[in-house]
Amino acid sequence: MDSNEFLQAITDIVREKGVKEEVMYDALEAALLAAYKKDYGNVDNVTVKINKEDGIVKLIATKEVVEVVENQNLEIALQDARKISKLAEIGHKMELDVTPKKYGRIAAQTAKQVVVQRLREAERTIVYEEFVDREEDIVSGLIQRIEQKNVFINLGKTEAILPPAEQIDGEEYVMNQNIKAYVLEVKNSSKGPQIFVSRSHPGLVKRLFEKEVPEIFDGIIDVITVSREAGYRSKIAVASSNPDVDPVGACVGPKGMRVQAIVSELRGEKIDIIKYSDDPKEYISQALSPAKVLDVVPNENEKVSRVIVPDDQLSLAIGKEGQNARLAAKLTGWKIDIKCESQLEE
């Protein structure tokens, strides 16, 4: 490979692999130095210099000028030094070109191995840096394989792991199915970046609304909090900074299109959109939707609230196995004691 081909090869790798040019040159220098040391010994006074303009590679050894040479790797005789520079004196340090005429097959292979390793490390670093900034965000990919109940999602440059504990109860995962997931954690291991994702985290619901509702993305509507029992029901509390924008209506969307898109992504999970209020009575009443509430009696000191509902609304307010009341309590941060009218009279 001549100098022009050498430079073009570096340019191609930088472009194709997305590796920074300085990382590529560092890898090459380390490779060439390793090849030299393998054939000529472990010498610390040799460095590699690559001319980035003409592609010429040189191995430079720094040697001390001495009267009598005891170590040829580290020293040069005064008479030999003066053939190079008439100004050479005992004790001077000289940089000498020690590039072998032929590196040989072993040297070339060593260089290749080091370059491949450094490129692999650089690629892993690029992937890690890209995804570590996406923690608590959504990623999308195709289900690649399922091993020991772990679902592996192909994200292009790497894959994400959806562990059993973060899967939606009862949800089926099919090979090559497109799926969205919430990034829980990104770890940088010796085998490369490991990306752990979730389908059951409340953050997935929040991020889906942010992507589906422009007013949330623009900051007009805020998602205050989300409570969720994945696969069954979620409640999301929203507020608007613009009095002319209805936060619930904006999240529902025209003909319910926005919320239906999210429900579809979550495979039919029910979603209650609640208008946030600083007034505990109003907020708790809204949080128990779709049940109708007659009265709310909050105890500010104990953060406990008694809620009165019509008799025919009691089971709806509590929900199946207490789910509606439980989600409302998580959403508001209040303990909720639900009573119907007849119970109150008794």
pLDDT digits (tens, 9 = 90+) for 13-46: 777 777 778 877 887 788 888 878 877 777 788 8
Distance of alpha carbon 264 from alpha carbon 287, whole angstroms: 23
- What CA–CA distances, in Å, run from 168 to 60, 162, 260? 61, 10, 18
Express the helix, strand and coil content of the chain in percent, nearest 5 each.
40, 30, 30
Which segment of 50-64, 69-83, 111-125, 303-317 scores lowest on mean pLDDT? Answer: 111-125
Residue 110: its pLDDT value, please?
Answer: 65
Please name the helix (run of DSSP H) or strand (run of DSSP E) that holds residue 8, with its range, or none: helix 3-17
**Lookup result for tokens 């992504």:** 265
Q: Class assignment of domain 3-131?
A: alpha beta
The tokens describing 288, both together, are 């128990």
pLDDT band at residue 197 under the 50/70/90 scheme: very high
pLDDT confidence of residue 43: 75
CA distances in angstroms from 86 to 78, 82, 83, 192, listed in the order given: 10, 5, 7, 54
- Token look-up 């039919």 returns 268
Question: What average pLDDT does the segment 283-306 reach?
Answer: 95
Each domain of the chain, given as residue ranges in start order, spans 3-131, 134-198, 279-346
Decide: residue 310, CB within 10 A, 0-12 exposed, 13-18 middle, 19+ buried. Answer: middle
Task: Assess contact for 134 and 182: CB atoms under 8 A.
Answer: no
Give the model's confidence band at 111: pLDDT under 50 very low, under 70 low, under 90 confident, else very high.
Answer: low
Please compute the mean of the pLDDT values over residues 162-174 and round it to a whole number.
94
- Name the residue with higher pLDDT: 41 or 186: 186
Which superfamily does CATH assign the domain made up of 134-198 to? Nucleic acid-binding proteins (2.40.50.140)
How much is the pLDDT for 159? Answer: 94
3-state secondary structure 105-168: HHHHHHHHHHHHHHHHHHHHHHHHHHHHCCCCCEEEEEEEEEECCEEEEECCCCEEEECHHHCC
Q: Which residue has the higher pLDDT, 56 or 256?
A: 256
Same fold, 3-131 and 134-198: no
| Per-residue pLDDT, 105 | 59
Where does the pLDDT of residue 106 fall: very low under 50, low under 70, confident under 90, or very high at 90 and above? low
Residue 145 pLDDT greater than 90, yes or no:
yes
Beta bridge partners of residue 162, listed in sequence order: 151
Give the model's pLDDT for residue 125.
85
Which of 26-40, 122-136, 186-200, 244-258 is predicted least confidently? 26-40
CATH 3.30.420.40, applies to 279-346: no
pLDDT confidence of residue 6:
66
Find out whether 154 and 144 touch, Cβ atoms under 8 Å.
Answer: yes
Instruction: State the pTM of this model.
Output: 0.71
**Residue 344: pLDDT above 80?**
no
Can you tell me the mean pLDDT for 159-179?
95
Looking at residue 2, the DSSP 8-state letter turns out to be: -
CB-based contacts of 203: which residues, under 8 Å, 6+ apart?
136, 182, 226
